[in-house]
Amino acid sequence: MGLEVEAILARSDLYERPGKNQHAFCLDVDRQGDVRVLCNLRPTERWMSTLLHELGHAVYDAHISRDLPWLLRRPAHMLTTEAIAMLMGRLTQDPRWLREVVGVPTAEAEALTPRLHDRLRRQLLIFLRWALVMVHFERAFYADPDRPDLNVLWWDLKARYQLLPPPEGRDQPDWAAKYHIAMAPVYYHNYILGEVLASQLRDTIEHSFGHLVNQPHAGEFLREAIFAPGSRWNWQETVQRATGRPLDLSPLIRSVGS
């Protein structure tokens, strides 16, 4: 699609080693083009999707216009960069990407199509329910950080949204093991909104260009409509200008409901 990543990969820290941060993230070092990602890659679909996700952040940062004032050389909002990351991360479930990029034989990719569609649908449903646990837990936590029942609250929310019953007799701070609560707090709502916008962008791209994979016009659309403006406009105006409508749940609902 014309969004080259070789230079980004060459600057990045991609593989496991002792003592390394076990997470994955993208970093725009100077807002002048030095964009890097950190991963702990293994030969699995999960890590391929994670790499594509982080490279989604990276190509966004790399193509923000350098003509903008330094303070505006950042995404319009965290939800817009998460949308691009999630749009790219979903490609591991895309038969065309598997066929044209990975080299999976056409017949095999076509045979996998129904299973890939169902897998992506399930992943979205599972993730959105998990994200609701995080959003509601942090909302309650920051409203009253001294409340004595955080352990119970965590499992109450997991039971409500994920349908996971609490382990019998367990009263431990399991919530504290979640990386984002300590290291990237109050962030998970951006993932939910990012999934909404990722579906809306995919809908716009398919309507205008047919597909995302190997479509230079789709890459040009993302560069011009989403990346280059940086924070020139707020996220609402960015979405309106790019897709012709406000943030819209309908494409995501179709993705998880069909």
Per DSSP, the residues of 46-100 read: HHHHHHHHHHHHHHHHHTS-TTS-GGG-S-S-HHHHHHHHHHHHGGGG-HHHIII
CB 131 within 8 A of CB 86: no
**According to the model, what pLDDT value does residue 1 have?**
83
Q: Which long-range contacts (CB under 8 A, 24 or more apart) does 153-161 make?
A: 157/132, 157/133, 158/133, 161/129, 161/130, 161/132, 161/133, 161/136
Residue 258: band (very low, low, confident or very high) from pLDDT cuts 50, 70, 90: low
* Range of lowest pLDDT (153-157, 165-169, 201-205): 165-169
Average pLDDT over residues 184-200: 97
Residue 257: band (very low, low, confident or very high) from pLDDT cuts 50, 70, 90: confident
179 or 35, higher pLDDT? 35
List of domains in the chain? 6-121+188-257 (1.10.1370.40)
Rg over CA atoms, the chain: 19
**Percentage of residues in the chain with pLDDT exceeding 70?**
100
Q: Return the DSSP state at 225.
A: I
Asked if the model's pLDDT at residue 76 lies above 80, the reply is: yes
Q: What does pLDDT average to over the chain? A: 96
CB 73 within 8 A of CB 35: no
CB 214 within 8 A of CB 165: no
Work out the number of other CB atoms within 10 angstroms of the CB of residue 18: 4
The torsion angle over the Cα atoms of residues 98, 99, 103 and 107, rounded to 10 degrees, is 120
Work out the number of other CB atoms within 10 angstroms of the CB of residue 40: 16
Residue 87: band (very low, low, confident or very high) from pLDDT cuts 50, 70, 90: very high
Residue with tokens 């030969």: 43
Average pLDDT over residues 90-116: 96
Work out the number of other CB atoms within 10 angstroms of the CB of residue 60: 29
Burial (CB count <10 Å: 0-12, 13-18, 19+), residue 37 = buried
**According to the model, what pLDDT value does residue 43 have?**
96
Question: Which helix (H) or strand (E) segment is 140 a member of?
Answer: helix 106-143
Average pLDDT over residues 58-81: 98
Asked if the model's pLDDT at residue 82 lies above 70, the reply is: yes
Average pLDDT over residues 37-51: 97
Whole-angstrom CA distances from 188 to 139, 160, 178 are 11, 17, 12
Q: Is the pTM of this model over 0.75?
A: yes
Residue 256: band (very low, low, confident or very high) from pLDDT cuts 50, 70, 90: confident
Whole-angstrom CA distances from 3 to 90, 107, 187, 217 are 16, 28, 27, 11
